[in-house]
Chains A and B, each alone.
Chain A
């Protein structure tokens, strides 16, 4: 069984608002000083999902693919240290600031180039742009079905049974492989890379493929060819009008709050 896991390196989504800065002219986030980029928090769960399927099947190969700058190697290395087998970095000046559909096209070409892929796993969204569109885009490009926001998976022959998280509940679906599945945070804790695994990962191969290696047309990559043009990026303004409720004891503070809420007809 051949599984591809797509991972992404992003600015740390836990960056405090006070250290979050935007270059409005360039429409880019300014990397916060001293806060290193991290693996998109949903992606280790996709790697975990792949490892569990491989463990259950007793065989298989997991290839990790990431599109990004050279720092995206760290996201690949993290997945390799968790137990994935090989890595591919999609790196090209024409991949900078492309949109999620262009990313999906590049990822799907890489998956075709890897060949004979049974299952593609991705995080439910990337925590930077938070669109959750790439899994459906990759599936669309490959002409295979996509199941989104999975909390558990089970493979029986060529049929994958997936439990998905809905807005108001859960849904069990079946899909025949090959397919794309996006994994949600409800999937469970991803395994933590052990020191020995980290050392083994250093010896695993990471290939680097360019836009030419993926045989992308000139108008498929490149910031100028985005399907969704970014017109502006800015930090929204929030004003504070908070009334801090004081008091000699928590009981007094609670009584004052209850009275104020009653006066304001909120309770």
Chain B
């Protein structure tokens, strides 16, 4: 038994970008002797092409909708059948609404364990070793599996997707099985968001509890809007109801890796860092020079944000 099965997800009728990150992780394992990389996706054959182009050797098609968020019971049935058909000993999926449920369901269905939110994978003697963050990002743990099949969810944006190769192709196989869906989905609604999706934004401006006042997020939005970016918030700010949970950056929220991350009045608790430490350039605006966020940033202004942010907005406007 050898090979990797990745569970792809869809968004707006196409394969979701994070699925290509899973394929890149699968290909990296294949390079270490991990065997063929198969992909399971729910929907029709038109989805297979982009999976092949990004690294799949074979594609399995589950019934449409069976891998949507909330349908993990149905999806687990399809995923277990695909795992068996592909003869895969490694199963990878995203740390998403679906993956959070599907990973454990699959693992327990296979009498094995699951490692959640992994940031690195390696093969040692043909067996998987995964690195994941724990204790709120203060520590890293490396884990291995006792059971035959090794199931892991991968942190979004921890792997770079491979460039598409249009010469790649493979076999497509339908999987008819789905699991018994006891949880009935009544309705699914998208979070209201204005402008750029925070996961896709090249610039993110985030505010924390240190803003002291929910109305200060208007200032964050003005700065983000000026830079064509998105506005985020720390968990502390979201828990206070200052900003919607869909915009939360951190371990329990979104992972973002923008080109520029501006952290305003965010101390840099590990919980938050886990969601943005992959940002290419970090700017901290904070009164505390010893704040963790200041230490990890490229540029920092140690001053009250109420004085700095309006001035920064004016200074950026004056550049053009």
Contact = CB atoms under 8 A, between A and B. Distances in A.
B192 to A, nearest CB: 9
A167 B153 CA distance: 15
A244 B300 contact: yes
A264 interface: yes
15 contacts: A14-B269, A131-B116, A132-B100, A136-B108, A145-B182, A149-B100, A185-B238, A230-B142, A232-B141, A238-B296, A244-B300, A250-B307, A257-B283, A257-B315, A260-B299
Interface string A79-113: 00000000000000000000101000000000000
A29 interface: yes
The B interface, classified by DSSP as helix, strand, loop or mixed, is mixed
Contact of B311 (A167, A169, A244, A254): A254
B177 interface: no
B41 to A, nearest CB: 18
A146 B314 CA distance: 51
A229 B143 CA distance: 5
B260 interface: yes
B64 interface: no
A127 B298 CA distance: 29
Given A167-B254, A238-B295, A253 B301 contact: yes
A101 B245 CA distance: 29
B134 A234 contact: no
Contacts of B227: 267
B134 A129 contact: yes
B1 interface: no
B104 A29 contact: no
Nearest to B104: A136
Residue from A146, A149, A242 having most chain B Cβ neighbours under 10 A:
A242
A131 B203 CA distance: 29
A262 interface: yes
A264 B281 contact: yes
Given A240-B295, A244-B294, 5 more contacts: A101-B113, A230-B141, A236-B139, A242-B299, A258-B316
Given A145-B183, A236-B140, A168 B116 contact: no
A156 B260 CA distance: 48
Interface string A225-267: 0111111111110101111110000110111011111101011
A147 B186 CA distance: 13
Question: Could you say which of B105, B146, B295, B311 has the most chain A C-beta atoms within 10 Å of its C-beta?
Answer: B311
A224 B312 CA distance: 56
A171 B302 contact: no
Interface in A107-159: 124-125, 127-133, 136-137, 140, 145-149
Interface residues of B, number: 84
B69 A167 contact: yes
A253 B144 contact: no
Contact of B113 (A14, A147, A228, A234): A228
Nearest to B111: A227
A73 interface: no
A64 interface: no
B173 interface: no
A186 interface: yes
B136 A227 contact: no
Interface string B148-159: 000000000000
B145 A228 contact: yes
B189 interface: yes
Nearest to A126: B134
Interface of B: 69-70, 73, 96-97, 100-101, 103-105, 107-109, 112-117, 129, 133-136, 138-147, 182-191, 203, 227, 235, 238-239, 245-246, 251-252, 254, 259-260, 269-271, 281, 283-284, 289, 292, 294-304, 307-308, 311-312, 314-316, 318-319
B134 A130 contact: yes
Given A136-B105, A254-B308, A168 B299 contact: no
Contact of B135 (A11, A164, A238): A11
Contacts of B270: 17
Given A130-B251, A229-B146, A254-B311, A166 B188 contact: yes
Closest 8 CB pairs of A and B: A254-B311, A227-B113, A250-B307, A228-B113, A136-B104, A258-B315, A145-B182, A232-B142
B146 A243 contact: no
Contacts of A51: none
B138 A15 contact: yes
A173 B70 contact: yes
B17 to A, nearest CB: 13
A170 interface: yes
A176 interface: yes
Contacts of A241: 298
Contact of B105 (A140, A171, A231, A262): A140
A267 B260 contact: yes
A39 to B, nearest CB: 15
Contacts of B252: 124-125, 184-185
Nearest to A234: B140
B140 A169 contact: no
A233 B300 CA distance: 31
Contact of A254 (B104, B144, B294, B301): B301
